Amino acid sequence: MITVSSTETDKLYDEIASKTFEILELDGAANVELEFMNEEDMRALNSRTRSIDKTTDVLSYPNLDVIKPFTKQNYPFDFDEEIKAVFLGSIVICKQVAERQAEEYGHSVLRERAYLFLHGLLHLLGYDHIEDDDKKSMRSREEQILSSLGVER
């Protein structure tokens, strides 16, 4: 089971997280934090945390170095007793950049935000896209998960 903590109430993020958990056959209980920012705040965050002075669409801040079943036994220092789950990390999405990209790519803002959330979630789970093979694997998973939920381009 995976939960999403966010000020946004759209249940799609919970559905994406649950479907990701299911498809990747992950065990235990996990939690991810989702936040939305404006361009100015996103640029400041990117500059402060990554020394990159520009606005980006999504940032992810993994809490875990290794992914294994999400239990208190496996993650004694990352298990949140209050919510009974392991904290995976945080995802931050820039609202304005998501809106521009949705228009550029010809799909809805909700679809773009869903994609960005999933992209960030996969980073929290150890996926990357630096190497071409890793990028293909990550993109394939993204499309598989979004398509299974009917969130397509």
| CATH number for the domain that contains residue 139 | 3.40.390.30
Residue 69 lies in a domain: yes
Q: Tell me which residue of 126, 21, 28, 121 sits closest to 72, measured CA to CA.
A: 28
Residue 104 lies in a domain: yes
Residue 108 lies in a domain: yes
Q: Which residue range forms the structural domain that includes residue 20?
A: 2-148
pLDDT confidence of residue 129 = 80
Query: What are the tens digits of pLDDT across the range 61-120?
Result: 999 998 999 999 999 999 999 999 999 999 999 999 999 999 998 888 888 999 999 999
Are 4 and 34 in contact, with CB atoms under 8 Å apart? yes
Calculate mean pLDDT across residues 18-31: 93
What the block records as the tokens of 6 is 């966010």
Whole-Å CA distances, 88 to 16, 30, 43: 15, 6, 23
Residue 130 lies in a domain: yes
Please check the confidence at residue 130 and state whether its pLDDT lies above 90: no
Query: What are the tens digits of pLDDT across the range 31-50?
Result: 999 999 999 999 999 999 99
Please check the confidence at residue 9 and state whether its pLDDT lies above 80: no
Domain count of the fold of the chain: 1
Q: Is the pTM of this model over 0.75?
A: yes
Residue 153 lies in a domain: no
SS3 137: helix
Please check the confidence at residue 140 and state whether its pLDDT lies above 90: no
Band of the pLDDT at 5, cuts 50, 70, 90? confident
Please check the confidence at residue 153 and state whether its pLDDT lies above 80: no
What is the distance between the terminal CA atoms of the chain, rounded to a whole angstrom?
27
